């Protein structure tokens, strides 16, 4: 495959690789064509159908090469149309590595399913180099060989990837695969249970199985899910026992003699590396008024970043390690609980435990602070209509506290939604409302509050500039001098990089970056960052997945608007950002993620009544308090932004007048 033409999408750095081969290609004699030649001819034709051309070609050359691509494509189709039962297996074994997916595409295009018998097809797909995904992406092929493919699935454990792909594809953007009609729901259940019991199940697949929902086409039982959960635990324990791990602990303390508000350092205790964070007791004692207590969650405990007020507890793909990106489930129904996320959750729990106890010792209930915020502060500071909410009393058990605070959380959300809609709060309407509140649908007081990356262009720009998996960050000359960079952006900031440092096919990526005004290429071929504001915006999005645009300086908004106009970014107006909505859904229910903790659901539906572990209820209560703190911060941010924007508008109106 070294010099073969293979079709890649135009966004791929290998797009058009070796396509110039058509310039010197002579029309071959049909009898001299191999199956690899035939596939290559088809791949060349796909490029011309896609509008590919070299900048060196004149219009006349392009016309000639386009006509030539049609001629070799006809040779390809002629070759495939003569394939039959007697020749297909031998021909398949001659296919070069990298062309097998294209063979099955041509199998479908040339309708070989009308010529190849079930028995020969069954022998063919037992070949080691047949990917099940290549088979099940072709609907008519699957329909034609239904019973054969049913047996193929049931006899091969690796088909679990197809089953799980199809299970989730209806609510994701995944490429559509098809199952044969002959495969029943009972077949699927039996197959999944057999996979769970197999000798070496993949822990990612076990994780997805234990979180599956029972549907008409996938009638997975609770018994199978429980079996998968237990097997997953065993496999993880085995990995921990046989693999390599690094111990890392967190320590939190309050220090009365410490002058700094917060002090952080790393230390090694008993051979274990620890991250130690200490807080000034004097500072905390001087900030016991209610407003300062809430501010401490922002500025001291850093539940959100300042000034954008984005939750710092959400899962971020940018913080996943290379191996985590490989081994964590890629399902969109799986919330990515990478090691950074788990560490943040553990540390947030430590902060809440410690600060809650500290406040209690100073005769302050955090619940009273939250009650004051929603029932007094919002009304006094922002003229918000009266809100009503009841928090748990001290005397109740933690299980009862959890049930009460969940109700309080949802009550505040309903009141806020009514305020957004009507400008007032009808408490009788609140009490009658039975419609569930979806976090992603809660609106905002601020137009176009959040900005997100959008579409393929954003993904390409982000990957080219900031990914540590992009080869553009590797230049032989610089590497050999002992300097390494995680991404292209970092290298361009610190090094002189030239087009001559890259292969011809890699240089196309810089044309792409130039089209978006990200880089400029000087006459000597030097590559330089051009628009630092756009790059900063894209980097922020790469790291944090969302931007609260109104906290950016006004002079940057033109760059936002330009990227929005080009479709690279998109704006939305909601109370919670997408990452925050996902985080809340993960913590509270299973509406979006099959691995959700379901804390809300367990208490609302009474499932936790059978749980006698009061310490677990206590930890859940602290989690829920943390979510309530986030809600208070987000609503306060709404009113602050709205006031600032209204004041700016009044100032502009006055100036114009």
Residue 655 scores a pLDDT above 60: no
Q: Where are the domains positioned within the chain? A: 450-572
- Rounded average pLDDT over 509-526: 93
pLDDT of 276 strictly over 90? no
How much is the average pLDDT of 498-520? Answer: 89
Average pLDDT over residues 250-263: 88
Per-residue model confidence (pLDDT) at position 173: 59
Residue 420 has pLDDT above 80, yes or no: yes
Give a three-class secondary structure readout of 294-321: HHHHHHCCCCECCCCCCECCCCCHHHCC
Can you give the pLDDT at residue 48? Answer: 94
Which pLDDT score is estimated for 245? 46
Report d(CA 557, CA 560) in Å as an integer: 5
Q: 106 burial class (0-12, 13-18, 19+ CB within 10 angstroms)?
A: buried
Mean pLDDT of 517-536: 94
In angstroms, the CA 68 to CA 19 distance is 12
Asked whether 341 and 315 are in contact (CB, 8 A), the reply is: yes
Give the tens place of pLDDT for each residue, 592-645: 888 889 999 888 877 666 666 788 899 999 999 999 999 999 999 999 999 999
- What pLDDT score was predicted for residue 247? 45
- pLDDT of amino acid 163: 94
Closest CA to 588 of 618, 626, 614: 626
Q: Would you state the structure tokens that stand for residue 386, as one six-digit string? A: 């009266």
| Percent over 90 (pLDDT), the chain | 69
Average pLDDT over residues 522-539: 95
Percent of the chain with pLDDT over 70: 91
| In the predicted structure, residue 562 carries a pLDDT above the cut 50 | yes
Residues 454-483, mean pLDDT to the nearest whole number = 91
Nearest CA among 559, 580, 577, 579 for reference residue 569: 559
Q: Which value, to the nearest 10 degrees, does the dihedral of the CA atoms of residues 285, 286, 289, 294 take?
A: -80
> Per residue in 187-222, pLDDT tens?
999 999 999 999 989 888 898 898 888 889 999 999
């Amino acid at each position: 495959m070294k010099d073969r033409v293979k079709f890649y999408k135009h966004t791929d750095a290998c797009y058009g690789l070796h396509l110039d081969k058509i310039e010197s290609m002579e029309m071959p004699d049909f009898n001299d064509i191999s199956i690899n030649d035939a596939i290559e001819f088809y791949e060349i034709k796909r490029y011309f159908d896609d509008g590919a051309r070299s900048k060196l070609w004149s219009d006349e050359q392009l016309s000639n090469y386009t006509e030539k691509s049609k001629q070799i494509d006809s040779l390809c189709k002629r070759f495939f149309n003569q394939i039959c039962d007697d020749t297909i297996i031998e021909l398949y074994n001659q296919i070069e590595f990298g062309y097998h997916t294209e063979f099955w595409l041509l199998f479908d295009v040339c309708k070989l399913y009308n010529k190849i018998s079930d028995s020969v097809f069954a022998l063919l797909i037992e070949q080691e180099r047949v990917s099940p995904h290549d088979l099940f992406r072709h609907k008519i092929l699957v329909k034609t060989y239904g019973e054969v493919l049913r047996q193929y699935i049931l006899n091969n454990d690796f088909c679990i990837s197809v089953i799980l792909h199809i299970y989730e594809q209806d609510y994701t953007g995944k490429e559509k695969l098809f199952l044969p009609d002959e495969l029943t729901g009972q077949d699927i259940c039996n197959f999944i249970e057999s996979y769970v019991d197999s000798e070496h199940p993949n822990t990612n697949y076990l994780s997805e199985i234990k979180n599956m929902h029972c549907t008409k086409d996938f009638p997975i039982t609770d018994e199978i899910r429980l079996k998968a959960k237990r097997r997953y635990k065993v496999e993880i324990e085995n990995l921990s026992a046989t693999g390599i791990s690094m111990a890392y602990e967190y320590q939190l303390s309050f220090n009365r003699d410490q002058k700094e508000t917060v002090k952080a350092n790393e230390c090694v205790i008993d051979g274990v590396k620890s991250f130690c964070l200490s807080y000034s007791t004097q500072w905390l004692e001087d900030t016991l008024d209610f407003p300062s207590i809430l501010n401490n969650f922002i500025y001291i405990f850093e539940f959100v970043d300042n000034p954008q007020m984005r939750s710092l507890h959400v899962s971020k793909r940018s913080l996943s390690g290379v191996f985590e990106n490989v081994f964590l489930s890629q399902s969109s129904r799986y919330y990515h609980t990478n090691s950074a996320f788990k560490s943040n959750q553990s540390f947030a729990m430590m902060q809440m435990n410690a600060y809650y106890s500290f406040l209690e010792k100073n005769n302050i209930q955090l619940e009273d602070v939250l009650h004051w915020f929603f029932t007094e502060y919002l009304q006094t500071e922002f003229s918000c209509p009266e809100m009503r909410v009841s928090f748990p009393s001290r005397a109740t058990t933690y299980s009862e506290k959890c049930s009460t605070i969940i109700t309080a959380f949802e009550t505040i959300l309903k009141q806020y939604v009514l305020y957004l809609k009507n400008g007032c709060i009808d408490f009788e309407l609140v009490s009658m409302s039975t419609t569930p509140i979806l976090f992603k649908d809660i609106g905002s007081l601020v137009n176009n509050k959040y900005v997100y990356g959008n579409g393929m262009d954003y993904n390409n720009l982000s990957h080219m500039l900031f990914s540590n998996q992009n080869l553009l960050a590797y230049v032989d000359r610089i590497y050999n001098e002992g300097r390494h960079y995680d991404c292209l952006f970092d290298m361009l900031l610190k090094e002189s990089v030239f087009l001559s440092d890259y292969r011809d096919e890699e240089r196309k990526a810089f044309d792409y970056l130039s089209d978006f005004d990200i880089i400029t290429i000087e006459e000597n071929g030097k590559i330089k960052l051009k628009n630092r504001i756009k790059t900063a915006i894209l980097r922020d999005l790469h790291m944090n997945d969302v931007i609260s645009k109104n906290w950016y300086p006004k002079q940057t908004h033109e760059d936002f608007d330009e990227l929005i106009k080009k479709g690279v970014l998109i704006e939305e107006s909601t109370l919670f950002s997408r990452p925050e909505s996902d985080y809340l859904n993960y913590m509270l229910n299973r509406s979006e993620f099959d691995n959700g903790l379901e804390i809300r659901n367990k208490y609302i539906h009474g499932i936790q009544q059978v749980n006698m572990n009061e310490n677990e209820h206590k930890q859940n209560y602290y989690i829920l308090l943390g979510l309530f703190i986030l809600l208070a911060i987000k609503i306060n941010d709404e009113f602050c932004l709205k006031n600032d924007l209204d004041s700016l508008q009044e100032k502009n109106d006055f100036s114009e007048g």
